[in-house]
Chains A and B, each alone.
Chain A
Amino acid sequence: MTQLRVALLASCTVEVLERPLGAALRERGFEPSFWISGFAQYQQDVLNPASGLYAHEPNVVLVYLDAEDLFRDLIKNPFAQLAEARKETAGRIASEVAALVDTVSQRLPGATIVLNTTAVSPLNALTGLEFNSEYGIQDAVGEYNRAIAAFARTRPEVVILDAASLAAAVGFSRWRDDRLWYLARLRLSRHALDALASGYASILAARLGKIKKCIALDLDNTLWGGIIGEDGYEGIKLGEDGIGLAFAEFQDELLNLYRKGVLLAVCSKNNSEDALQVIRNHPGMRLRDEHFAALRINWEDKASNLRALAEELNIGLDAFVFIDDNPVERSWVKQSAPEVVVPEWPTDPVDYKTALVQLEGRWFPKLGITAEDRKRGEVYQAQAARRQLASSETSIEEFYRALEMRVRIGRADAFTIPRIAQLTQKTNQFNLTTRRYSEAEIRAATDDDQTEIFWLELNDRFGPSGVVGVLILKEGEGTSGEWHIDTFLLSCRVMGRTVENAFLAAAARETNASRLVGEFTPTAKNAPVKDLYQRLGFTHSHDVGDRRVWLLDEPGRLEMPSWFQVTIDRPAAAAASDQ
């Protein structure tokens, strides 16, 4: 369980959100403790440094601002302002909100702040006049939403919850409960509270890396209609005709998940030749071989196949969501592989796409797309080719050489900071200390002279793996040349290729370290690197609780494996001054 200290500030009463939000956060593996601002107290609480907000020392600040509060005057009398004045009002309100948020982030460095887009009731005095006359409310609220979104994109610590879209999805007449407004000054109905709770929880899960990595899919009556073994290649329903379109559009949406960096896998009971014929040749298929990171098409039980997929992809069973139309298979997997998320699945294929979109928001939320996300599927495909190679080479050294590995190592900069933070959030297995950092924290650390943040990018003959390693070194106080390894991690997909030897050897030379101090902090997942420092030639120094501390003098003698071609990336300005 990850502890979360949550502060909740709002323009209306919001205490009632604590219950559904607490439940939604616990469901995603967080243990939240709340502090909630009083009715319409949010500005005072932000401005007063002695307020309960700061005493709570939150790492997450949720600021829920409702258009009906922000634009109260305009909504009360929509005939008082013309277009220009409305635009000005919206801009002024947005900059007031921005100023408050900046105050919060100065006083709570490192905290994540969540703002929201907002919507006003479409049922108001301007019905018919909105967009037809010089009067309007929706344009002012739209202007405000755009302005705070633009502001948030300039602040790494600020993210937006698109509450306006949540309200549209719920339906505005169900989003409000006027009884609660008049009795308790609450702008939200039970449906709205539930939608907001789930929306906030997803944003925080995305922010803190608690998201799933892979969707494992059944085939018959899931990716296409009918049973290939019975209905045959020409008999299955898939494509532009009739209900076949529901399956095709479901696949289109899966393709969007693939584009966002989610891995797709097949886990089905079929004759593999029948199924592969469809996947490779059927004109209605939108997903092809190259979109699947791994396939298990056989008559084994599905829980065993999911375990095999987890092993092949080198991810945990708890990183899987399993989709199958058959309730018997679902219940078997739930029972025999309880770590896997097994959502209920609609019986009518017309509902598949919507069910998938809901799963996306629930288990695969994203706040940004990195270059690595865009090519993750290809990377795993290349991985399969590497495994083929490994089985054909006779010695491990020959295998390393045959891979033609090229590493590029550089220091954190604006381009790499998001990926570095993402790796510290997500990496569990090859992670010596499992310290999680936000983008803001990494960015702040780059200004510190006694901290060095290195990234590592790997390419080989099968293609690029992108930025897959992070090393954070901190120079010990008053001990010139003694560097402490604060963070040492590699993405699990490049494990077992001696990349760690190359990375540490290069970083030690870059820092001119006379001594390296490494530590290993055990977690449920990082046993594979328990003996890493010993393997690299460090000697055990002492233990602090369950933390093992290791030392290596003269790390310049760390051996650089001869099968790597290494490039050190230096900023253009520095390179120019070297000449």
Chain B
Amino acid sequence: MLDTRLVDTLSRVFNVDPSTITAETNPATLPAWDSVGHINLILELEDVFDIRFASEEIPTLNSAERLQAAISSRR
């Protein structure tokens, strides 16, 4: 299950309806999720969840599912 705050953040940063977001959502399914969008998303998530991702994991967090796992592992 995706955390609702993760879904909200994805929908806000990429300006899409929350109902379209699934665990499989990734840069290929969301055109706005480009390299700049990725940085925006990471910074926004760090703020929302009050966490900090490590530099080597940031490039690997390229799906909603992977983001969820990285967030869950911090709590």
Specify the chain A residue showing the minimal Cβ separation from B40: A19
Specify the chain B residue showing the minimal Cβ separation from A15: B36
CB <8 Å contact, B47 and A190: yes
Specify the chain B residue showing the minimal Cβ separation from A178: B55
B39 within 8 A of A: yes
CB <8 Å contact, A190 and B35: no
A15-B36, A16-B36 in contact; A183/B59 too (CB < 8 A)?
yes
B58 within 8 A of A: yes
B2 within 8 A of A: no
Question: Could you mark each residue 18-55 of chain B with 1 if its beta carbon is under 8 Å from any beta carbon of chain A, else 0?
Answer: 00000000000000000110011001001100000111
A85 within 8 A of B: no
A415 within 8 A of B: no
- Candidates B39, B54, B59; contact of A16 at CB < 8 Å: B39
User: Chain A residues with Cβ under 8 A from B58's Cβ?
Assistant: 179, 183
A184 within 8 A of B: yes
A369 within 8 A of B: no
- Candidates A178, A183, A190, A193; contact of B46 at CB < 8 Å: A190
A16 to chain B, nearest CB (A): 5
A471 within 8 A of B: no
A184 to chain B, nearest CB (A): 5
CB <8 Å contact, B55 and A186: no
A163 to chain B, nearest CB (A): 19
Q: Please report the total number of B residues contacting A with Cβ < 8 Å.
A: 13
- Candidates A16, A178, A183; contact of B40 at CB < 8 Å: A16
User: Chain A residues with Cβ under 8 A from B43's Cβ?
Assistant: 16, 190, 193
* A15→B54 CA distance, assembly (Å): 22
User: Chain A residues with Cβ under 8 A from B35's Cβ?
Assistant: 184
A180 within 8 A of B: yes
B40 to chain A, nearest CB (A): 6
Using C-beta atoms within 8 Å of the partner chain, give the interface range for chain A. 10 to 19
* A16→B58 CA distance, assembly (Å): 16
User: Chain B residues with Cβ under 8 A from A179's Cβ?
Assistant: 53-55, 58
CB <8 Å contact, B55 and A182: yes
User: Chain A residues with Cβ under 8 A from B39's Cβ?
Assistant: 16, 180, 183-184, 186
* A182→B55 CA distance, assembly (Å): 8
B37 to chain A, nearest CB (A): 9
A189 to chain B, nearest CB (A): 8
User: Chain B residues with Cβ under 8 A from A178's Cβ?
Assistant: 55
Give the contacts of B48-75 with A (CB-CB under 8 A).
53-55, 58-59
A294 to chain B, nearest CB (A): 42
Question: Could you mark each residue 9-31 of chain A with 1 if its beta carbon is under 8 Å from any beta carbon of chain B, else 0?
Answer: 00000011011000000000000
A190-B46, A190-B47 in contact; A183/B55 too (CB < 8 A)?
yes
Question: Could you mark each residue 302-335 of chain A with 1 if its beta carbon is under 8 Å from any beta carbon of chain B, else 0?
Answer: 0000000000000000000000000000000000
* A178→B55 CA distance, assembly (Å): 9
B56 to chain A, nearest CB (A): 9
User: Chain A residues with Cβ under 8 A from B55's Cβ?
Assistant: 178-179, 182-183
B42 to chain A, nearest CB (A): 9
A186 to chain B, nearest CB (A): 7
* A158→B55 CA distance, assembly (Å): 38
* A179→B59 CA distance, assembly (Å): 11
* A178→B56 CA distance, assembly (Å): 12
* A16→B34 CA distance, assembly (Å): 11
A35 to chain B, nearest CB (A): 14
Specify the chain B residue showing the minimal Cβ separation from A19: B40
B58 to chain A, nearest CB (A): 6
Specify the chain A residue showing the minimal Cβ separation from B38: A184
User: Chain B residues with Cβ under 8 A from A18's Cβ?
Assistant: 36
Please list the 8 inter-chain residue pairs (A to B) with the smallest Cβ-Cβ separation, ordered nearest first: A179-B55, A15-B36, A190-B43, A16-B39, A184-B39, A19-B40, A183-B58, A16-B36
18 A-B residue pairings within 8 Å (CB atoms): A16-B36, A16-B39, A16-B40, A16-B43, A19-B13, A19-B40, A178-B55, A179-B54, A179-B55, A179-B58, A180-B39, A183-B58, A183-B59, A184-B39, A186-B39, A190-B46, A190-B47, A193-B43
**Chain A interface (Cβ < 8 Å from any Cβ of B):** 15-16, 18-19, 178-180, 182-184, 186, 190, 193
Beyond A16-B39, A179-B53, A184-B35, 5 additional contacts (C-beta under 8 Å) are A18-B36, A179-B54, A183-B39, A183-B59, A190-B46
